[in-house]
Chains A and B, each alone.
Chain A
Amino acid sequence: QVQVVQSGAEVKKPGASVKVPCKASGYTFTTYTMHWVRQAPGQRLEWMGWINAGNGNTKFSQKFQDRVTFTSDTSASTAYMELSSLRSEDTAVYYCARALGTSGYLPIDHWGQGTQVTVSS
Chain B
Amino acid sequence: DIVMTQSPESLAVSLGERATINCKSSQSVLYTSNNKNHLAWYQQKPGQPPKLLIYWASTRESGVPDRFSGSGSGTDFTLTISSLQAEDVAVYYCQQYFSSPLTFGQGTKVEIK
Q: Is there an interface contact between A111 and B50, defined as CB atoms closer than 8 Å?
A: yes
A59 to B93, CA, bound (A): 22
B80-103 contact mask (Cβ, 8 Å, vs A): 1 or 0: 000000000000010101111111
**Chain A positions within 8 Å of B30 at CB level:** none
Evaluate contact between B49 and A111: CB separation under 8 angstroms.
yes
B63 to A: closest C-beta gap in Å: 11
| Chain A neighbourhood of B50, CB < 8 A | 45, 95, 97, 108, 111
Asked if A14 is at the interface of the complex by the 8 Å CB criterion, the answer is no
- Please report whether the interface of chain B is mostly helix, strand, loop or mixed according to DSSP: loop
* Interface pair B49/A106, CB less than 8 Å apart: no
CB-CB < 8 A to A104: which residues of B? 97, 100, 102
Q: Is B101 a contact of A95 with CB atoms below 8 Å?
A: no
Interface SS of chain A: loop
In the complex, chain A residues whose CB is within 8 Å of the CB of B101 = 47, 61-63
Evaluate contact between B55 and A44: CB separation under 8 angstroms. no
Chain A residues 92-117 with CB under 8 Å of chain B are 95, 97, 100, 104-109, 111-114
B52: chain A residues at CB < 8 Å are 107-109
The answer to whether A95 touches B61 (Cβ under 8 A) is: no
Q: How far is the CB of B98 from chain A (nearest CB, A)?
A: 7
Q: Which residue on chain A has the smallest CB distance to residue B104?
A: A45
What residues on A are CB-neighbors of B107 within 8 Å? 44
Q: Contact at A95–B49, with CB atoms within 8 Å?
A: yes
Please report B residues at the A interface, Cβ cutoff 8 Å: 38, 40, 42, 48-52, 55-56, 61, 93, 95, 97-107
A-B contact pairs, 6 of them (CB 8 A): A35-B102, A44-B93, A63-B101, A104-B102, A108-B95, A112-B49
Q: What 4 additional pairs, Cβ within 8 angstroms, besides A107-B95, A108-B40?
A: A45-B93, A47-B103, A107-B56, A111-B49
